[in-house]
A and B are shown apart, each in its own frame.
Chain A
Amino acid sequence: MASTQQQQQLSAIKGAKVLMVGAGGIGCELLKTLALSGFQDIHIIDMDTIEVSNLNRQFLFRQSHVGQSKAKVARDAVLRFRPQISITPYHANVKDSSFNVDFFKQFNVVLNGLDNLDARRHVNRLCLAADVPLVESGTTGFLGQVTVHIKGKTECYECQPKPAPKTYPVCTITSTPSKFVHCIVWAKDLLFAKLFGDKNQDNDLNVRSNDTATSSDHSEDIFELRKDEDFQQYANRIYDHVFGHNIQTALSNEETWKNRNKPRPIYVKDVLPDEPVQQNGSADQMLVKDSLSSLSAMSYLGLKNPQDIWSLKENSRVFFAALKLFFTKRQKEIGNLTFDKDDHLAVEFVTAAANIRAASFNIPLHSLFEAKGIAGNIVHAVATTNAIIAGLIVIEAIKVLQNEAKNCRMTYCLQHPSRKMLLMPVEPFEPNKSCYVCSETPLLLEVNTHRAKLRDLVEKIVISKLGMSLPLITHGSSLLYEVGDDLEEDMVANYAANLEKVLSELPYAITGGTNISVEDLQQELVCNINIKHREEFDEEKEPDGMVLHGWTPAPASENNKDATDNNGASTSSTSKSAPAVMEDDDELSIMEVGVETVSAVGKKRKLSDVPHPETLVEDKRAKKIPEQPENNGDVVVMLDDGNDAA
């Protein structure tokens, strides 16, 4: 019996055409395991090139491959031990228009080893549109999970709202930041760690040039305060090195800046030209109060409101003041500090440094309050977890290929056993009937139709919340807006004009009671949105000036007692969004504070530490196994709102 089963399994494997998205930490392991398992026709998409810090776990790559396409090198490496199989690499972004629904339709199953939410959502939609099963995966540290998404049978990747976890490739952080969060990660994880943390810990701070030989720049001493060195001289040297010299070095990689705005190096002399060099020994004056916890660069500088956005000059002053306070008042801790969002001085330092870097890269500056919120949690990956997860992906993929959907499981890889299990399989959930992606339930948008422009709708809702990349907005049979390469010039002008109009003054006015349709042609996703006019919005709690219902959790009751609610009907359970947390491939992964939850809940909700997946699983199972203890408070916590930075 076993052998016929094996025969069937083998023929399912051999006849399958699979698409892998991602050739990073999970991807390398996955490609290897697929090849060993007998898969014959594997396509793999990855837009990344290989970096030095990949080599400790992306085992198909070697030093000599640095700079080359991950997808292509992975293919060549696997063909060395399985030359007879076919592997088709694509060094491209999975969001490219060539990977359309027809492209996806040729595969029997799609396997994700991705590192960001955006691409995951995109692939989810294409799999739904093409009706191809998707096996999704993610790891952070020792935690991991594999889930199976089959249209109509199990929930889709977006059935449960995600608290927008994001991951960033290292080079984005070290060389090409484009968002403020990239600057925060740099300031916190690289600069702060370099100056105040364990000296052994990192070397990504210095911008790498393409030539790997120079990657370990001989600048180690720059970060050391030399004996008898004047502190201000030291501080200036740090400042000029990280904000000036490093940017200058990065600029020399011309290839990098072909399609990007060039950053501008910032030196002390340009920002604080006539600032009298701060006096030696003035740190005592900084110590307004005695206790260490009250050490604050802000209070020393007379900056009061953490909600204010400081100028470059102010940020530079905060940078110097915070640096000095660390070196004079907290010297003993230097070398063992890790960033702690409750360490006020650390937050000040990170905010200032991130802002100065943001100024270099022409990224809008942020307040200390915002910066503190963004400085969430960072988790890194290890090879073993990736290997385990890749094995589990293949096991699920084979079930899918044998049409054994009912045997599919989502599996959690845990750090601490739960009921003796380190690997815990859980039955997949049914599709969420009110999911805006895989069901046709309309969304509800509250908006002031006399004030909000079409541009606000497009940017704040269609792109940032619904995750569409090529949206098309219609009202009845009339087109209001559309994006694409092949549009007529007059239409482009027409749409551009529409963008600047308020909703109620559009050619086909959007007012209360209007129903509009938003569509992404590439993803083949259509969302219907009912419009409800509302006059006033709370600027702090609803900064978008509009609120979208039906796609994000309604405010969870504070005691979370509804966590065992029916998964299908409710969008309010905090617990169910949680598994989404443990996902990303392997680079830096930042748990961002979801803006949408801020506006929806009116209080800032934030992920605490990396949630223990045991907790998540218990939650998931809670509705099925009533005797399981409920435990959901750990997953999402309410932060005290607003003023905690003061």
Chain B
Amino acid sequence: MNGEELTEQETALYDRQIRVWGVDAQRRLSKSHVFVSGLKGTTVEFCKNIVLAGVGSLTLNDDNPVTENALAANFLIPFDDNIGGGGSLADLCCDSLKDFNPMVHVSVEKGDLSSFDVNFFEKFDVVVISCCSLAAKKSVNEKCRKLSKRVAFYTVDCRDSCGEIFVDLQNYAYAKKKADETVECQLLFPSFEEAIAIPWRSLPKRVSKLYFAMRVVERFEEVERRKPGETSIEDLPNVLKLRNELCLAHSLNESQIPDSLLERLVASTKEFPPVSAVLGGILGQEVIKAISGKGDPLKNFFFFDSVDGKGLIEDISTS
């Protein structure tokens, strides 16, 4: 990364992708700094993708110890004595990721996500958080928004065979190719808090059922003070009750959030690895787009459910 030019080593390694997105984009990638908090299957997929793509640096945050459960969807951690060993998830993932691409600086940031202040996030161009509470999502998003530079903010979560990605690029201008000419485009993204505050009845018809279902589960975990993903089938009656309350408040028909969908989300909080691969791929793609300024970014929610196989973009914003 010497100044403006890509090194010979970089050009050799990134040859194929440079042919897809160009030298400029590659140069921007190699100068970008990405922060990821919460290392489970989906974020690990994402980390692999952007390390291969050649971002400048990747900072990992997850102090959790390596448990058997954590290994289930994680291909970064060699299966040996790591279970119950001293290293945190972030430590072990870091070791593996370094190995993927020696040109990317991978490091670990210890500490609780909520303890990082606004200045902390200034070091980054991209912040991705996962497996965290509703409060943490709102608060980290707001911290990123307080900075004078734009920090692209993403959340990603996978429960059972369903997944959700949220994107906040704030005020985002990019070049869009239309036929032969390039047009300047501008998009205004709402924050996570703003987006989910939009009354459900004012959303466009046929918004993915997953959007509502994820809000119900998220809310349930908040009121019950659960850790993210800490639900089981026993919670279903209470979750359904909450669903009914929320639907009533939002004047939404309860059938928009089917019991069976909620059941899947609360009963099995394990990530289904193929779905993690899909979400990690889409998120990787979006982050590459945002850094390079090339291509239409996803605005502002993405949903995938392997049962119907659809990968849907939903624009949840006031406008």
Contact = CB atoms under 8 A, between A and B. Distances in A.
A388 B281 contact: yes
A321 interface: no
Given A36-B41, A384-B49, A62 B99 contact: yes
B273 A394 contact: yes
Interface string A412-453: 010111001111110000000000000000000000000000
B237 interface: no
A594 interface: no
Contact of A52 (B13, B45, B267, B285): B13
B87 interface: no
Contacts of B312: 420-422
B5 to A, nearest CB: 7
Interface stretch (A1-9, A158-166, A180-188): A1-9
Interface in B269-319: 272-278, 280-282, 284-285, 288, 295-296, 298, 302, 304, 306, 308-314
Contacts of A391: 273-278, 281
A1 B263 contact: yes
A79 B74 CA distance: 13
A606 interface: no
A422 B304 CA distance: 10
A204 B12 CA distance: 8
Contact count band on A? 35 or more
Nearest to A78: B75
B127 to A, nearest CB: 19
A30 to B, nearest CB: 9
A366 interface: no
A148 to B, nearest CB: 11
B99 A387 contact: no
B53 interface: yes
B116 interface: no
Interface string B167-208: 000000000000000000000000000000000000000000
A82 B274 CA distance: 16
A384 B298 CA distance: 15
Interface stretch (B16-24, B57-65, B130-138, B147-155): B16-24
Interface in A197-233: 198, 200-204, 215-216, 220
B103 to A, nearest CB: 10
Given A56-B52, A423-B309, A198 B277 contact: no
Nearest to B13: A56
A421 B311 contact: yes
Contact count band on B? 35 or more
Contacts of B298: 422
A3 B233 contact: yes
Contacts of A378: 19
A8 to B, nearest CB: 14
26 contacts: A1-B263, A2-B233, A2-B263, A29-B277, A33-B273, A36-B73, A56-B14, A59-B52, A83-B79, A200-B11, A201-B15, A202-B19, A203-B11, A204-B15, A220-B8, A378-B19, A382-B285, A383-B17, A383-B48, A383-B53, A383-B284, A387-B277, A391-B277, A392-B274, A423-B278, A423-B311
Given A2-B233, A216-B8, A380-B17, 18 more contacts: A3-B267, A32-B75, A36-B276, A53-B16, A56-B17, A81-B75, A202-B19, A220-B8, A380-B20, A382-B17, A382-B21, A382-B285, A384-B284, A384-B288, A385-B281, A387-B48, A390-B277, A422-B282
Interface of B: 5-6, 8-9, 11-21, 23, 41, 45, 48-49, 52-54, 71-79, 99-101, 160, 233, 260, 263-264, 267-268, 272-278, 280-282, 284-285, 288, 295-296, 298, 302, 304, 306, 308-314
Interface of A: 1-3, 6, 29, 32-33, 35-37, 52-53, 55-57, 59, 62, 78, 80-84, 141-142, 198, 200-204, 215-216, 220, 378, 380-388, 390-392, 394-395, 398, 409, 411, 413, 415-417, 420-425, 586
